[in-house]
Structure 1
């Protein structure tokens, strides 16, 4: 793809944004991503997708509409294309970047005991679910060494409810020979605090699983505003 630098072959002056692109790339190279606000990091991605246009206004609009760099990447492709200037190709490029980040985050927890890599578990769960527009109920199935056997989304619901069937969860754990589970779901509202329904379902699942030798290590709720741990809140 075009790098966006230099002058056109006919000798005409390069568009004004070419110099901006070079300066922004240089700042990223010298100071790293932490030195850039969200919209500038997003600009760096959009340079490749939209080489012939100034993308600074578009990057700012995307961050303003969705809230943050992470929320732009986590937004459904259909909602991204509602923003003027974002076509299907640009939306696909952003979703590819999101998929790559999620693959890296999952790799960080795949081959190590999850309870000793808790911050990586939280990072992965937030990246995978925190910005989803509907509730999802995810289960991390673990073996006796607390290594990950499987990572499955069991249910997808509405904006404020996901049906969970504890006996189905336990049945799946037995099929996988899992001895421990970490439950995860998201609150699209952003507030990660558990509801009374969340608490009742979790305690019912703990009671059903315990006689079968299956431990519920934690139930984590993720949202835009952070996360909540049932274990940390002494709810299980």
Structure 2
């Protein structure tokens, strides 16, 4: 008769105040839960933290990136991808229930989880009502390693269809640095200009890269 081991319930990280020790414990328990025969969950958890920096960034990584750390002989990477999707759904539910911008740290953690380890650029838009509540979070463009096509009129058409009054734009920089390029700034100001005509405000544009974010509003690029 095989031994049946009991583990504490796994709690998916939702960002904010999580220490490295907490991340290690979480990853170790998650590995044990997903692969009960893994010989060294403690060592693998440490390897994930060393490589990705946090449990959240490990969960947001692609299967290929996880394979590099975990090895191809284990079924963990695709199982961790399922855990990632569960975490994203929890993030999305939390963001949808609250004033999006009141929980700024949670919003940035959500965007990191969605886009932080993407190897091509993605451009997504969070459509908000006048109370800063999320109406929709939609991927509006994907592209190459350093460009994603953006169509301002399509964004505004969707905003009007949803009855959105505010927008938070977001895209990732796969190369790592989140600082905006001149093209990023020009595109953002163009969307904001069209939005003013349509009475839709671009509240912020957040760039995700290398575990960090860059806010256009905080940088004074949007007023």
TM-score interval, normalised by the smaller of the two chains: 0.7 to 0.9
Is 1:186 the equivalent of 2:179? Answer: no
Task: Name 1:47's counterpart in structure 2.
Answer: 32
Q: Post-superposition shift, 1:141?
A: 0.6
- Provide the alpha-carbon RMSD of the alignment: 2.7
Contact 2:62 2:117 (8 Å CA) reproduced: no
| Structure-1 separation of matches of 2:97 and 2:52 | 33
Match of 2:78 among 92, 99, 105: 92
Contact 1:58 1:85 (8 Å CA) reproduced: no
- Which deviations, in whole Å up to 9, do the C-alpha atoms of 1:125-152 show, x marking residues without a partner? 2222222222111100112322211110
| Structure-1 separation of matches of 2:72 and 2:21 | 22
Q: Secondary structure at the match of 2:120?
A: coil
- Which deviations, in whole Å up to 9, do the C-alpha atoms of 1:64-111 show, x marking residues without a partner? 444443332112123323446445731222122222222222222212
Structure exhibiting the larger radius of gyration computed from Cα positions: 1
Q: Post-superposition shift, 1:124?
A: 1.8
Task: Name 2:57's counterpart in structure 1.
Answer: 71
| Structure-2 separation of matches of 1:60 and 1:193 | 30
Contact 1:4 1:47 (8 Å CA) reproduced: no
Task: Name 2:13's counterpart in structure 1.
Answer: none
- Which deviations, in whole Å up to 9, do the C-alpha atoms of 1:188-234 show, x marking residues without a partner? 22211111110000001111111111111111112224111111111
Task: Name 1:161's counterpart in structure 2.
Answer: 147
Count of matched residue positions in the alignment of Structure 1 and Structure 2? 212
| Structure-2 separation of matches of 1:232 and 1:134 | 25
TM-score (norm 1): 0.78
Task: Name 2:157's counterpart in structure 1.
Answer: 171
Contact 2:124 2:141 (8 Å CA) reproduced: yes
Q: Secondary structure at the match of 2:184?
A: helix
Task: Name 1:204's counterpart in structure 2.
Answer: 190
Task: Name 1:8's counterpart in structure 2.
Answer: none
TM-score (norm 2): 0.82
